[in-house]
Structure 1
Amino acid sequence: MKLLALRRLFRIQRVIVRYRLDDLLLALPLPWGLRLLLRLLPWRWLPRRTLEMPRGERLRRSLEELGPVFIKFGQILSTRRDLLPGDIADELARLQDRVPPFPAAQAIALIEQQLGAPLARLFTRFDPQPLASASVAQVHAAQLKSGEDVVVKVVRPGLEPVIRQDMAWLFLLARLAERLSRDARRLRPVEVVSDYQKTILDELDLLREAANATQLRRNFEGSTLLYVPQVYWDWCRPQVMVMERIYGIPVTDLAALRDQGTDLRKLAERGVEIFFTQVFRDSFFHADMHPGNVFVSTRTPHDPQYIGIDCGIIGSLTAEDQDYLARNLLAFFKRDYRKVAQLHIDSGWVPPDTPLNDFEAAIRTVCEPIFEKPLKDISFGQVLLRLFQTARRFNMEVQPQLVLLQKTLLNIEGLGRQLYPDLDLWVTAKPFLERWMRERISPLRLLRNLHQQAEQVPQLTRKAERALERIAQGGAQPAAKRHPWPERLLGAVLLLGAASLGVHPDPQTWPAWSMLAGGLYLILRR
């Protein structure tokens, strides 16, 4: 294993030398010790031919040559335009998932090994020529014995050892960066690499992707917005997945979409609606919505429907992140910069000692010039990026759970503007967010959440009773002889707590509602 890791390291080194990546590092404001180390690298003393490629192209080509881990890492890095020069970010955005296919014989052998039967017994027809080939897997067209047209997705053989070796080296570089640079510590590279490792290893498990696809299909069952192909679970294994074959138009084929009379404006607006529905209604969003994974149905061009495939990367947010994100966006729409600044502090996205007035002024400086332009000329994704750049001055830490969200939002915006350049993303998004916030404080939602909180009260009460008994009786008196005063006292304390916090129909006051319910339960129980 160590020998393989060393071989991999030498290959990485060869790519670094070939594309002069050490020159890119020396162009950065690195600590003097690291700069000296780079200057002393042996190959820098050897004659080298001149490369005419721009630095961004050199970086992109090196990542493509190094394989799936580096390709996907470059794709994720390309979404952090607040951290990268524009020319490098533009080149990284060109990274493609398409790679040369592996031999059909290997794919067939793996399918037969995973499904435990010869190919002829599994399928009526199987096309050895892959429909598509990506960095992690490739897909083949087939037909089940029952007559359904399907696609068979197969993981590339031997990927996991290479991925784990590459991740080990990425962790080493991330830890080194944290030691050498204060800015790097703010960016939390080890945590970002850790999240990335989980994401790419999850992609190797096609049972997880099948489960994601099934859940996403269930979330949009009967919807005219998005169709997700059916998964055939009887033919799914960790390295093989069989699902319904879809027939649609690639979303980037604008000529074909126009030829069939597709309402491109509605199509673009529905892309935005799908994104916000997944993020805020379901907290379960497709986080790999590059054009290769998006098709458009041919059935109802006047009422267009998306088709989504490849659910290997799924993102989600906690209820707290959902709430803070929605409030930030709505405050931004209303030009309430003070609230945007306060929400960043409350959420922990910037340090608690951040000067509120200074932070508000910095956000206003970024946003006000934008609002002087027509809304259709404003890039929503770029606005978010500029806000992140401003927050960087105030030591805003990277939020790894939001990296996938930002990547997906930029993909959706870019896709929407390609389909319909006059797309007004703000006008499309704002009503959805306002409706979502209203529903969060609707009487029905309040009652449902109060009921969920109340269901936990008896369990919390039993724990509190046992604790108070031990305090009041020193642990000597048996539980059967306890007096009722401890629970009455606890109930009174909970009621006082609820009164001090204030109980009103706001999502942030659930602790007060919980205290109120618990206090009444303890005082009134017999």
Structure 2
Amino acid sequence: MGSWWSIRYIRRRQEIVGTFMRHGLGYLLQRFGLAGTMQLSTRQLMNGSYEAAEYLLADNLRQAMVELGPTFIKLGQMLSTRPDMLPPPYIEALETLQDKVEPLPYELVLKQLINEIGHPELVFEEFDPQPLAAASIGQVHRARLKSGEEVIIKIQRPGIEKKVESDLEILKRLARISEKRSNEARRIGIAAMIEEYSRLLLRELDYAREARNTERVYNNFKDDTRVVIPQVYWEYTTPRVLTQEFIAGVKLSDIEEIDRRGWSRRKISRLGTEVFLSQILLHGFFQADPHPGNMLVVDEDKIAFIDFGEIGYLTERRLIYLGELLLSLNKGDIYKAMATLQDIGIIDKLTDTDDFYEDFVDLVKNVSSTSIGNLDMRKIRKDYLELAYRYQLRMPAYLTALMKALITVEGVGKKLDPDFNFSEVARPLAMKVYTERMKPANAYKYFQGKYYQDVRPLRKIPSHLNALLNTAEEGRLTINMKIEFTGKTNRKLTQLASRVSASLIITGVLIGSALIIQTNHSAEVEKYAYLGVIGFGMALILLVVFFLASLRS
């Protein structure tokens, strides 16, 4: 299996390793126990990798990910949500990853359309062969249906699934090797992380899933006249082609065009923020990667959201935890805030809570000493990333995506209106949500959920305890223990086993040579007796060398 893997993927594996080396990132391979995957000549390039400035290496990592294609671009975007793995400069660099590429030749676009929904001349009244945008996974074209509706068609690149699956196989294998050789990789759980990443990326390749996401958001806002969500045309949608309504609008970042049309920037910034917060607080289903390109201004009273390939999901429990955390921070109740962090799963039993408490207090004081309107969200986020890396806090992906989304929305709001106050928009909506959740029907629903999740399972404790005692009484109780050694201890044990083996071999040669020398031989055998003397002498020399080496170590 190992040799087949090496032969099948050797060229791509060498390309991956070579790309990392060219960008001065060999130290990362060494850090995660993958130095053995490099050729000897390549390993020499690792010298000096540690010397470069951290921000420069972070940008090099971003460039390497772009060069290696869609699988690694998406991996980089996912790593940007893991501040426990990488220092803040790396997180910030990976968040800027974009995958703009040259458009597909029209012949390949045509072939993909024919395979999925039929020839464009039979399906559309008009089809623009020039794409509106192109990325490494797919590209977007504009068209008009026979029935007259203006649509956009998102077309997946032919063969991208096989390429991504091949890269994922390589990553999975490297992750397993890494966990065998690196304690840090085992601590992070890199193999499980890559498995989860593979699952998410393969889901993202399914355009039918993106269509379902879009339809869900469409239904969430169907009664809100301020919001426009594109309608999906299912008869022209497959896992590789997505057809949805074309929405004419101005990008939220196109301030010049907004001003030219005489629209109020302040009004638009408040509207965009309020609607996006509604996705989070009211529906718990939001764009995980919002940017000015997928938020369009239809007019100053109406805003559109497009592109729901990446979605964040907040359950009722997650929303309550977030509410408790924000409320405790607002009141300066550090202990309650830390307890909520434990409930969320950010702090675990391995975290040094005393040291963390001191740093967390500093962060909270920094927030509470600044007036709400003047909060620097980017500075707060930078402090939080440094804290997460220092204590290796496992931030849930939904929480990191949420913070990134909120900072993006706040940044767009301030660009439109320098006096924009995020809290002025957020506070009334948060109070509305809080009041809604305190209604008897919703409170009953919450406590009912808590009962089934936390209280009802306690009924099984007596029966489980009885079964445990019976098993122990009958002598059938077994305890499984798993002992893991550090890398240093493993090396010492291997060294010890090697020395024991060497000493046994040397002893055997000494005894065998002595027997050859001492035993009476026939005349024919006698002439080879000198071999015993040579063997005895060599064994004696090896014994002295072995003894001196043991003393030095």
Q: TM-score, normalised by structure 1?
A: 0.75
Q: How does 1:272-421 map to 2 (within 5 A)?
A: 272-297=273-298, 299=299, 301=300, 303=301, 305-352=302-349, 359-380=356-377, 382-387=379-384, 389-390=386-387, 393-394=390-391, 396-421=393-418
Amino acid at match of 2:107: A
Q: Which residue pairs with 2:521 in the alignment?
A: none
Deviation, structure 1 residue 333: 2.6
Native 8 Å contact 1:350 1:394 kept in 2: no
Q: Which residue pairs with 1:219 in the alignment?
A: 220
Q: Which residue pairs with 2:438 in the alignment?
A: 441
Q: Which residue pairs with 2:169 in the alignment?
A: 168
Deviation, structure 1 residue 9: 1.1
Deviation, structure 1 residue 432: 2.7
Amino acid at match of 1:11: E
Amino acid at match of 1:163: V
Greater alpha carbon shift after TM alignment, 220-229 vs 52-61: 52-61
Q: How many residues align?
A: 451
Q: Which residue pairs with 1:516 in the alignment?
A: none
Match of 1:10 among 14, 17, 20: 14
Superposed CA offset, 1:235-280 (max 9, x none): 1111111111111111221111222233323333333333332223
Native 8 Å contact 1:265 1:419 kept in 2: yes
Q: Cα gap change, 1:393/1:7 in structure 2, threshold over 3 Å: closer, same or farther?
A: closer
Native 8 Å contact 1:330 1:434 kept in 2: no
Amino acid at match of 2:105: P
Amino acid at match of 2:10: L
Q: Does 2:114 align with 1:109? A: no
Superposed CA offset, 1:428-454 (max 9, x none): 333433332332221232355678999
Q: Cα gap change, 1:192/1:411 in structure 2, threshold over 3 Å: closer, same or farther?
A: farther
In structure 2, C-alpha distance between the alignment counterparts of 1:13 and 1:284, rounded to whole Å: 38
3-state secondary structure, aligned to 2:282 = helix
Q: Which residue pairs with 2:25 in the alignment?
A: 21
In structure 2, C-alpha distance between the alignment counterparts of 1:310 and 1:378, rounded to whole Å: 30
Q: Which residue pairs with 1:247 in the alignment?
A: 248
In structure 2, C-alpha distance between the alignment counterparts of 1:24 and 1:396, rounded to whole Å: 20
Amino acid at match of 2:26: D
Native 8 Å contact 2:250 2:297 kept in 1: yes
RMSD: 3.7
Superposed CA offset, 1:163-212 (max 9, x none): 11222233344445545555555544334333322222122111111111
Superposed CA offset, 1:298-321 (max 9, x none): x3x2x3x32211211112133222
Q: Cα gap change, 1:397/1:258 in structure 2, threshold over 3 Å: closer, same or farther?
A: same
Q: Cα gap change, 1:425/1:176 in structure 2, threshold over 3 Å: closer, same or farther?
A: farther
Amino acid at match of 1:66: L
Q: Which residue pairs with 1:142 in the alignment?
A: 143
Q: Which residue pairs with 2:494 in the alignment?
A: none
Native 8 Å contact 1:137 1:154 kept in 2: yes
Q: Which residue pairs with 2:529 in the alignment?
A: none
In structure 2, C-alpha distance between the alignment counterparts of 1:444 and 1:173, rounded to whole Å: 51
In structure 2, C-alpha distance between the alignment counterparts of 1:167 and 1:181, rounded to whole Å: 20
Q: Which residue pairs with 2:42 in the alignment?
A: 43
In structure 1, C-alpha distance between the alignment counterparts of 2:395 and 2:417, rounded to whole Å: 32
Q: Cα gap change, 1:379/1:170 in structure 2, threshold over 3 Å: closer, same or farther?
A: farther
Deviation, structure 1 residue 233: 1.0
Q: Percent identity, aligned pairs only? A: 33
Give unpaired runs (5+ residues) of structure 1: 468-526
Q: Does 2:258 align with 1:257? A: yes
Deviation, structure 1 residue 140: 1.0
Kindly name which structure, 1 or 2, has the bigger radius of gyration based on alpha carbons.
2
Amino acid at match of 1:342: A
Native 8 Å contact 1:331 1:337 kept in 2: yes
In structure 1, C-alpha distance between the alignment counterparts of 2:132 and 2:244, rounded to whole Å: 14
In structure 1, C-alpha distance between the alignment counterparts of 2:447 and 2:371, rounded to whole Å: 43
Q: TM-score, normalised by structure 2?
A: 0.72
Give unpaired runs (5+ residues) of structure 2: 464-553
Q: Cα gap change, 1:390/1:429 in structure 2, threshold over 3 Å: closer, same or farther?
A: same
